[in-house]
């Protein structure tokens, strides 16, 4: 009998995190499931650590480092479940997680079920972590179960979709970080597969973000906006990403680059009431710089 869920977990050089996530899934009760782990060329002992788990539900596969999209696609090609659950290696499910996903799929056929992830206190209470926690969780805070999250709501950090609803392969091959999840989400939305929040599918997102690493991600995302526009040449995507003549002309002329640079050079403001506003400004600056640099 085929499993109800195929849990696809791509990983790269995060051995302890992915082991914790896999063991948390193995503790799930209710729906039948398989776990497909794609080791994307790790060099930190990930493969050996996971191999030692030696559980019949865990399929461990290794490939040369080709990036997140390629790892997810490789996992999807192996999936046998009725539903595919893409889950990042640092998203640790709580009790009843899979049952909550299945319940919403039964209640609302042909949907993308989005997990209720949160950044736990163990990640710290520093100023940037507090800012990022508010930004990451604010969009779903207070929303009821089964709430529609809109076109930007396909958070593939942890999301399940009926396997037959997904294209083959699901993810386009973006060459760097940014927009690949939104691009697939836009295609799913066009097919009527809406993202719906499962409040009972709680999972701790052990994403210990730092300002420096997030600046790099936003810079890459700005550059990859052009790949998104190439795949979906529409006014909607151009304005969504900022890759349009009006936005670009405005930012070239009026963006406060000097202030953003000054904030990065002297970060005493992180301990003040201006911290959240300034974090938003420097992150937007990183995205905008990538956007301007990546223009074809």
pLDDT, one tens digit per residue, over 57-115 is 999 999 999 999 999 999 999 999 999 999 999 999 999 999 999 999 999 999 999 99
Confidence of residue 289 (pLDDT cuts 50, 70, 90): very high
Mean pLDDT in residue range 25-46? 96
Structural domains of the chain, with CATH: 5-205 (3.90.550.10), 211-294 (no CATH)
Q: Residue 1 has what pLDDT?
A: 81
pLDDT, one tens digit per residue, over 239-287 is 999 999 999 999 888 899 999 999 999 999 999 999 999 999 999 999 9
Mean pLDDT in residue range 156-174? 95
pLDDT, averaged across the chain: 96
DSSP string, the chain: ---SEEEEEEESS-HHHHHHHHHHHHT--SS-EEEEEEEES--SSHHHHHHTT--TTEEEEEE-S--HHHHHHHHHHH--SSEEEEE-TTEEE-TTHHHHHHHHHHHSSSEEEEEEEE--GGG---HHHHHHHHHHHTTTTTPPTT-B--TT---TTEEEEEGGGS-SS-S---SSSSSHHHHHHHHHHHTT-EEEEEEEEEEEE-----HHHHHHHHHHHHHHHHHHHHHS-SHHHHHHHT-SHHHHHHHHHH--HHHHHHHHH--GGGGSTTHHHHHHHHHHHHHHHHHHHH--
Q: Residue 153 has what pLDDT?
A: 93
């Amino acid at each position: 009998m085929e499993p109800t869920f195929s849990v696809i977990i791509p990983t790269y050089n995060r051995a302890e995190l992915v082991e914790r996530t896999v063991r948390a899934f193995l503790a799930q009760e209710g729906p039948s499931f398989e776990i497909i782990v794609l080791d994307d060329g790790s060099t930190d002992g990930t493969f050996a650590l996971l191999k030692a788990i030696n559980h019949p539900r865990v399929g461990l596969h290794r490939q040369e480092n080709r990036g997140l999209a390629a790892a997810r696609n490789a996992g999807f090609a192996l999936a046998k479940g009725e539903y595919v659950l893409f889950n990042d290696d640092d998203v640790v499910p709580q009790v009843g997680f899979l049952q909550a996903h299945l319940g919403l799929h039964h209640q609302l056929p042909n949907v993308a079920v989005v997990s209720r992830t949160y950044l736990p206190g163990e990640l710290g209470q520093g100023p940037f972590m507090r800012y990022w926690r508010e930004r990451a969780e604010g969009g779903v805070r207070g929303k009821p179960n089964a709430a529609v999250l809109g076109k930007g709501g396909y958070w593939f950090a942890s999301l399940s979709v009926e396997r037959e609803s997904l294209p083959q392969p699901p993810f386009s091959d973006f060459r760097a970080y940014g927009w690949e999840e939104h691009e697939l989400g836009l295609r799913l939305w066009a097919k009527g597969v809406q993202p719906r929040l499962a409040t009972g599918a709680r999972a701790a997102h052990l994403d210990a973000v730092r300002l420096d690493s997030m600046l790099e991600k936003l810079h890459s995302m700005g550059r990859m906006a052009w790949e998104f526009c190439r795949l979906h040449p529409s006014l909607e995507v151009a304005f969504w990403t900022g890759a349009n003549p009006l936005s670009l002309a405005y930012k070239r002329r009026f963006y406060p680059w000097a202030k953003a640079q000054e904030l990065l050079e002297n970060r005493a403001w992180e301990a003040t009431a201006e911290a959240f506003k300034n974090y938003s400004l420097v992150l937007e600056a990183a995205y905008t710089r990538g956007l301007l640099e990546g223009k074809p």
